[in-house]
Structure 1
Amino acid sequence: MMKQLSGPITERAGGARLRRALAVSTLALAWASALPAQAASYTWGNVKVVAGGYVDGIVAHPAQQGLFYARTDIGGAYRYNNATSTWVPLNDWTTPSNWHEMGIESIAVDPRNANMLYMVAGMYTQNWDGNAAVLVSSNQGASFNSYPLSFRTGGNDDGRNAGEKLQVDPNLGSVLMYGTFNDAAQGATNGIWKSTNSGQTWTRLSGFTALSNDGSGSGVAFVTYYQPSAGNGSATPTVFAGVSTAGAASAGTTLYKSTDGGSHWSAVTGGPSGQYPNHGQVGPDGNLYITYGNAIGPNGMTTGQVWKYSVGGNTWQNITPANPNNYSFGYGGLAIDPKKSGALVVMTMDRWWPGDTMFRSTNGGSSWTDVGPASTRDPSLSPWVKFGAATAGFGNWGQVAIDPFNSAHAMYGTGQTVWTTSNLTAADSGQATNWTIGANGIEETATLALISPTSGVPLISGLGDICGFVHTSLTASPAAGMVSNPICGNGTGLDYAKSLTSKIVRVGTGGSGVYGAVSTNGGTSWTPFANQAGSSQGDGTVAISADGGTIVWGPKDVAPAYSTNNGASWTSTGLPVSTSWQILSDGLNGNLFYAYNAATGIFYASANKGVNWYTAASGLATGGKATTVAGNQGDVWLATSSGLFRSTSSGSSWSQVYSGVVTAANSVGFGKAASGASYPAIYLAGTVSGVSGLFRSTDTGSTWVRINDNAHQWGGYSIVVGDPKTFGTVYVAPNSGRGIIYGTSPN
């Protein structure tokens, strides 16, 4: 029996029995044979969304046609394969302990050596993140050597749109310079650093004292060499640095110059005031072009300018494109055409209405053409970029590159994707430019929820910023675009009715105040919640009973509630308000629901469809992830930093699985059973026998084999879900923003 709840949550009757049950037992599996290094041949790929996040830098190599690199803020870097028009991920080898290195702050190439590639990797300057590293490749990113830095960088911080902060001396490839953020907590390391041995070691330039160390601005926004100041084979003496701090912007001293290779620096006066530099490049006409905004970006700009500085003449000129309608925006991306003196493009930033655009000039900024309004756009490679509209927009926060071998070919990255054209120069004669999605191979989304129903589509996802998808195919971006009615911001919770798999529920954020929806046809169409359970922000997790009749939702700002009419009305469960609820439905019994509070380690259960709840267990590990098993009643697994636990009694008692061998678990999921096996295949993201990775068990956790390798780590793993329809298929959400990974195996 259990105590019925009308007020505070109470323990199940019989506290002594509860405490005895919670004396966690260990399965009789203390010792086992040595763990194989690899279970089987696994093939890994991305579930196709095509991009999805911020591509905040694109670099074209001047010495090899078709060689481009792109960086993302949370999903690593990519190299463009010109033969297949696809992007190849370069950082999938990143270990879970170095997850933050999936944020690429800057990329540099050696103009004299097409094989050399450099990048600064580190996601946040905050003190909870790890120190950054310089990654050096001598084979275009096929492999890297990593050289640690003594400070943190902000690949996903405000100001990540600036650049490039890392540059190779165009006359002497062993010399590099890198400019840091203006971080308040790392003042002793802020500034410009120099390497004279191809990035292996670095020295802070004591002569550069332009940063204020007050946390304002983006620090050193860009570094650029003036190549004509030296001959080939000798170090370039003249170097410029854009300084993005509040003090520099106010004083109009945002450009600094060194004529001795960085030993001494002085401000170049005469530029704009009240503006933060964003990008700076020297053109073949001898001018340094710079874009500016009145904030560091990528958000917050309300004004901006474009200037050029004559290096030889030491003069400034404001060349900002006309803004006849007085729109509110700044400037970000910049690309110089090295084949045409005076030809360049600049990108607006934060022009939220009527939308961002590109301006092009062929005469050094004396006149400009607005490329955006006359452009045509084909989003068929990733239809979701229309965001439910009839046509695709220009995109926002654009960072741009012009092909140094073909003036008509250009590409720009946005907060969502990459667009490319082969007729940019058509704008010079007033003709339309034609753009297609150029992001094939880039997969950069933060995955927040995944389900693979026992029948129907292979996968349904909840994603950061772009809501989520019903994936009818793993190899093509869904033709229907992202889930709609409503289109949400973050898709945070998903579940399906285990005995009625066509019924699915989802919740998230945004959605114009509608935070959830129900589908009765496997995700083909959705009916939004008519009532939001009193929540003003949505979010959280959600579960639907096995029979599809009841939904329990735990929003972030109100107590969990249940609905028996598909969200038309809600009743409070009596559970407390928490931002850490994991709401689950039982895998078989339509009456059973569970609620694990990851902040407190308390596990609650309801035997009457969420009406009344009892404390099934307390004292469980905090910060874990709970999962139920489709087709099994009362079967709950809990992945924790201290190991993997299982309950077969709806959470009232727990046993540790393979104690001493499975020492940590991030997530556990279940897929189709192996031939001859009676229990679903178990997929584990965690640590087994001292090895961190992805593992599979076909014998209910008695033995485990690793299924990924060191080349496929993606910075770690936050969610793992097996496919219940195909044995061996598993879906993985990396810790970073590398989209959704799936693996298949012939055995």
Structure 2
Amino acid sequence: MKKSIVFFMLALIFIFSCSKTSVFVKKQQNPTMEGKYVWRSVIAGGGGFIDGIIFHPKQKDLVYLRTDMGGAYRWDKKQNKWLPILDMFGRNDADNYGVLSLALDPDNPKKIYLMTGKYTQDWAGKGVFLISNDYGENWQSVKLAFKVGGNEDGRGCGERVAVDPNKTNILFMGSTKDGLWKSNDSGNTWEKVTSFNPSNINFVIFDKNSSVKGEATKKIFVSAAENSKSIYVSNDAGKTWSLVKGQPNALMGIRADIAGDNLFITFSDFPGPNGATWGKVMKYNILTGVWTDLKVPEGQGGFSGISVYQKDPNIIAVSTLDRWGEGDEVFLSLDGGKTWKPTLKNAKWDYSYAPYVSREFKPHWIADVKINPFDSNHALFVTGYGLWATKNFKSKNPVWYFNNENLEQTVPLQIISPANGKAHLLSACGDVDGFRYEDDFSKSPPDRHSPPRWTTLSIVCAWQNPDKMVKTFNKPPYGAYSVDNGIKWTDFTKKPDVAKNGGGTRSIAISADGKSIVWYPEKAELVYSLDDGKTWSKCEGGVPPARPIADTVNPKKFYVYDSNSGRMWVSEDYGKSFAKKSGEFEYVTKWTVDDCMAAVVPGFENHLWVTADTKGLFYTEDAGDTVIKVEKVEEAYRIGFGKEAPGNSYPTIFIQGKIDGVVAFFRSDDMGNTWVRINDDRHQFGWIHCIIGDPRIFGRCYLAVEGRGVMLGEME
């Protein structure tokens, strides 16, 4: 910016007594909302915990999945893939992607109910009950009076929402901290069942045979998460409750199924998905009150999933829970539970859809298993990393295939798209390391990062030398580097002395030429290395602990933006020392720090853009001495850059933010002067960790979506 303009603006600011003496306002045109984009998943395949499978009892091929962080899915037989049914919920409704229970109306296949919310801590909001009358295409939201822990212990238990099969306007819902609730109007309003005392509930199930059609079902079973006796029964449609006599002690009911006059229940000593050490599988005759131990082979861990084939109740499937040493198992009985055989031990496995699961991924967290109610040879079971299915369940050696078509559940914490080199996109993901893509985003890569480190927290490349990359993770030494474009990774020789709590999320930077690494390990001071992590030294100059980023033009230059103070720090000596710049961005409160990020502009030294949550969007062209506010952007949470528009020299800008009162994804091709919205209301994707552009393809962007993997957006 020319000095005369700077002095003129400073004079105006002084006259009008503005509080920020170095923030200028950039005026711009109103944004258009007509940017038509097509969105699709970048395929990894699974990658997260599916905690429930729900078949419709009367409509063939209608089956749903619920997940702890990635929403819910419906199987589309024509397209042979899973369809996400909650992508229309955005940032402000991201907790709706934690689905603790899913229920179907047995008389109306179009109707679906979801109990949603992720956490029950003090800071968490109340849960939401979702109602759809069109297979999940559209939703009505009902605010609940309590919090819902869709990503907490017990999320793999049975369905806590149950529809009365004889009078379907009646629903019961069990919470995990606030007891049992009832609705008489299909979930639109709820009242607490004060006669039921336990506060933490694992499942609710009706005995259809206890009443006739049109009358409220009299007999209802509820399992409480109690390690004494847990199974309660009501014989008067939920008015009064009592413990079922003769049930096991010191165990809680996890899941249940009813066939005829028999109630089948899996028991464990903890609701899971971790922590179960023993359990039983029991059959309770509802008419006689007799309990029978089905003697499913016991071992380490408990039991969780259970499914009885209604056309022939002799066919029963049961899953174990937390058998870590040998791996969990799915047992099958063809004689009503008298004898059992394992179906995984000698099975054949088809990993073709997602080859990465062939390495070090034993079936675990098998919270649910279901037999297709129309085909007893078709069965599915869940794991902590995806869904398995078989079409020959009853054979001696069933073939299980990874049934995750369009089912993307990874939690990408950082994504990068290098400007050149073979790798076009790389991700750092929770639990499954991350993935490297060259040019085909429609297939799962051959493997995840190698060697595996499980949760990867950061990943960046040297802009001028993309063969050189660094990443962070949670196992000592907390970081690694690659010299072959992310194909193989080598751990740092040692971790910094200050690094004691992990590698940190989006916390590492590498110089444009790949010679220097600057790192902010979790809850530690900034350090740098000039020898690929063999030795580490403290960054001098008093730089605060915050995330570093590297300039793409000047290899010696690094930046650190301190969102707590709103100041930029710059190093011009490969990260050895930093100095504070004079300009002031908007600082934010502690709770919104993660919505404040600085991003360098590729190809432009000293150019950075900064999101400041509700304070808006800012940029600087001199590394932070002069700060300019982008006027029309009311709020900004994430920012990234992509290839410039034809005829332009400045990279395209992508943000997640608010413009004209609408929270959405926007693109600017002219340095923030005008904006176009690039998503519609049906593609909002919940919580976004990153948005970046593609430096090689104009208009394309990528989103790192919590629990929904990486989404790719490009112009229609």
Same fold (TM over 0.5): yes
**CA shift for structure 1 position 22:** 6.5
**CA shift for structure 1 position 289:** 1.0
Tell me, yes or no, if the aligned pair for 1:662 and 1:687 is still in contact at 8 Å: yes
Q: For residues 696 and 161 of structure 1, what CA distance do their matches in structure 2 show?
A: 39
Corresponding residue for residue 27 of structure 1? 25
Give 1:294's match in structure 2, choosing from 256, 269, 275: 269
Corresponding residue for residue 670 of structure 1? 641
What is the CA deviation profile of residues 269-294 of structure 1, one whole-angstrom value per residue up to 9, with x for unaligned ones?
A: 2111111221111123x211111111
Corresponding residue for residue 191 of structure 2? 203
Tell me, yes or no, if the aligned pair for 2:568 and 2:623 is still in contact at 8 Å: no
Q: For residues 440 and 19 of structure 2, what CA distance do their matches in structure 1 show?
A: 43
Corresponding residue for residue 674 of structure 2? 703
Describe the SS at the equivalent of 2:100.
strand
Q: For residues 396 and 193 of structure 1, what CA distance do their matches in structure 2 show?
A: 28
Q: Does 1:321 align with 2:296?
A: yes
**CA shift for structure 1 position 256:** 0.8
Describe the SS at the equivalent of 2:95.
helix
What is the CA deviation profile of residues 292-343 of structure 1, one whole-angstrom value per residue up to 9, with x for unaligned ones?
A: 11112111111111111110111112223233xxx42111111121121232
Q: For residues 450 and 643 of structure 2, what CA distance do their matches in structure 1 show?
A: 30
Corresponding residue for residue 305 of structure 1? 280
Q: Which amino acid aligns with 1:412?
A: F
Tell me, yes or no, if the aligned pair for 2:668 and 2:675 is still in contact at 8 Å: yes
My pick for the range that moved more, 71-80 or 342-351, is 342-351
Q: Quick one: structure 1 residues 575 and 232, their matched pair in 2 at CA, closer, same or farther if it must change by over 3 Å?
A: farther
Corresponding residue for residue 266 of structure 1? 242
Q: What is the count of residue pairs matched by the alignment?
A: 687
Describe the SS at the equivalent of 2:581.
strand
**CA shift for structure 1 position 538:** 2.9
Corresponding residue for residue 244 of structure 1? 225
Q: Which amino acid aligns with 2:217?
A: T
Q: For residues 689 and 655 of structure 2, what CA distance do their matches in structure 1 show?
A: 10
Q: Quick one: structure 1 residues 77 and 473, their matched pair in 2 at CA, closer, same or farther if it must change by over 3 Å?
A: farther
What is the CA deviation profile of residues 394-421 of structure 1, one whole-angstrom value per residue up to 9, with x for unaligned ones?
A: 2333311110000000111111000000
Displaced runs of 4 or more, over 6 A: 575-578
Tell me, yes or no, if the aligned pair for 2:586 and 2:612 is still in contact at 8 Å: no
Tell me, yes or no, if the aligned pair for 1:345 and 1:359 is still in contact at 8 Å: yes
What is the CA deviation profile of residues 589-620 of structure 1, one whole-angstrom value per residue up to 9, with x for unaligned ones?
A: 00001122344544321110011122225674
Corresponding residue for residue 255 of structure 2? 279
Corresponding residue for residue 571 of structure 1? 537
Q: For residues 438 and 63 of structure 1, what CA distance do their matches in structure 2 show?
A: 22
Q: Which amino acid aligns with 2:561?
A: Y
Q: For residues 396 and 472 of structure 1, what CA distance do their matches in structure 2 show?
A: 32
Describe the SS at the equivalent of 1:488.
coil
Corresponding residue for residue 744 of structure 1? 714
Corresponding residue for residue 225 of structure 1? 206
Aligned positions of 1:471-550 closer than 5 A: 471-473=437-439, 475-485=441-451, 487-510=452-475, 513-534=476-497, 535-540=499-504, 541-550=507-516
Q: For residues 339 and 541 of structure 2, what CA distance do their matches in structure 1 show?
A: 64
My pick for the range that moved more, 499-508 or 154-163, is 499-508
Q: For residues 453 and 34 of structure 2, what CA distance do their matches in structure 1 show?
A: 40
Q: Quick one: structure 1 residues 67 and 530, their matched pair in 2 at CA, closer, same or farther if it must change by over 3 Å?
A: same
Describe the SS at the equivalent of 2:435.
strand
Q: For residues 356 and 563 of structure 2, what CA distance do their matches in structure 1 show?
A: 33
Describe the SS at the equivalent of 1:62.
coil
Corresponding residue for residue 725 of structure 1? 696
CA RMSD of aligned residues (A): 1.9
**CA shift for structure 1 position 129:** 1.8
**CA shift for structure 1 position 45:** 1.0
Give 2:168's match in structure 1, choosing from 173, 182, 198: 173
**CA shift for structure 1 position 21:** 12
What is the CA deviation profile of residues 99-122 of structure 1, one whole-angstrom value per residue up to 9, with x for unaligned ones?
A: 111111100011122111111111
My pick for the range that moved more, 307-316 or 517-526, is 517-526
Describe the SS at the equivalent of 1:489.
coil
My pick for the range that moved more, 529-538 or 453-462, is 529-538
Corresponding residue for residue 6 of structure 2? none
Q: Does 1:80 align with 2:83?
A: no
Q: For residues 571 and 585 of structure 1, what CA distance do their matches in structure 2 show?
A: 17
Aligned positions of 1:281-430 closer than 5 A: 281-284=257-260, 286-323=261-298, 327-386=299-358, 388-389=359-360, 393-426=362-395
What is the CA deviation profile of residues 460-494 of structure 1, one whole-angstrom value per residue up to 9, with x for unaligned ones?
A: 11111111111224533443311112x12322112
Q: Which amino acid aligns with 1:118?
A: Y
Q: For residues 34 and 419 of structure 1, what CA distance do their matches in structure 2 show?
A: 49
Q: Does 1:104 align with 2:99?
A: yes
Give 1:37's match in structure 2, choosing from 28, 33, 37: 33
Corresponding residue for residue 12 of structure 2? none
Q: Does 1:56 align with 2:26?
A: no
Q: Quick one: structure 1 residues 560 and 148, their matched pair in 2 at CA, closer, same or farther if it must change by over 3 Å?
A: same
Q: Quick one: structure 1 residues 128 and 434, their matched pair in 2 at CA, closer, same or farther if it must change by over 3 Å?
A: same
Q: For residues 656 and 28 of structure 1, what CA distance do their matches in structure 2 show?
A: 6
What is the CA deviation profile of residues 694-721 of structure 1, one whole-angstrom value per residue up to 9, with x for unaligned ones?
A: 0010110011111111101112433110
Describe the SS at the equivalent of 1:608.
coil
Q: Which amino acid aligns with 1:300?
A: G
Corresponding residue for residue 160 of structure 1? 155
Q: For residues 373 and 45 of structure 2, what CA distance do their matches in structure 1 show?
A: 26
Corresponding residue for residue 528 of structure 2? 562
Corresponding residue for residue 595 of structure 1? 560
Tell me, yes or no, if the aligned pair for 2:273 and 2:365 is still in contact at 8 Å: no
Describe the SS at the equivalent of 1:740.
strand
Q: Which amino acid aligns with 1:308?
A: K
What is the CA deviation profile of residues 193-235 of structure 1, one whole-angstrom value per residue up to 9, with x for unaligned ones?
A: 11122111112222222x1x5xxxxx11111110111222322
Q: For residues 340 and 59 of structure 1, what CA distance do their matches in structure 2 show?
A: 19
Structure 2: state its 5+ residue gaps: 1-17
Q: For residues 576 and 338 of structure 1, what CA distance do their matches in structure 2 show?
A: 69
Corresponding residue for residue 581 of structure 1? 546
Q: Which amino acid aligns with 1:363?
A: D
Q: For residues 195 and 220 of structure 1, what CA distance do their matches in structure 2 show?
A: 17
**CA shift for structure 1 position 346:** 1.2
My pick for the range that moved more, 470-479 or 149-158, is 470-479
Q: Quick one: structure 1 residues 526 and 575, their matched pair in 2 at CA, closer, same or farther if it must change by over 3 Å?
A: farther
Q: For residues 516 and 106 of structure 1, what CA distance do their matches in structure 2 show?
A: 38
Question: Which TM-score applies when normalising by structure 2?
Answer: 0.93
Q: Which amino acid aligns with 2:180?
A: I
Tell me, yes or no, if the aligned pair for 1:242 and 1:280 is still in contact at 8 Å: no
Describe the SS at the equivalent of 1:59.
strand
Describe the SS at the equivalent of 1:334.
strand
Corresponding residue for residue 120 of structure 1? 115
Q: Which amino acid aligns with 1:657?
A: V
Q: For residues 367 and 688 of structure 2, what CA distance do their matches in structure 1 show?
A: 30
Corresponding residue for residue 448 of structure 1? 413
Q: For residues 465 and 35 of structure 1, what CA distance do their matches in structure 2 show?
A: 39
Q: For residues 612 and 169 of structure 1, what CA distance do their matches in structure 2 show?
A: 67
Q: Which amino acid aligns with 2:265?
A: I
Tell me, yes or no, if the aligned pair for 1:125 and 1:152 is still in contact at 8 Å: yes
Structure 1: state its 5+ residue gaps: 1-19, 184-189, 214-218
**CA shift for structure 1 position 95:** 2.7
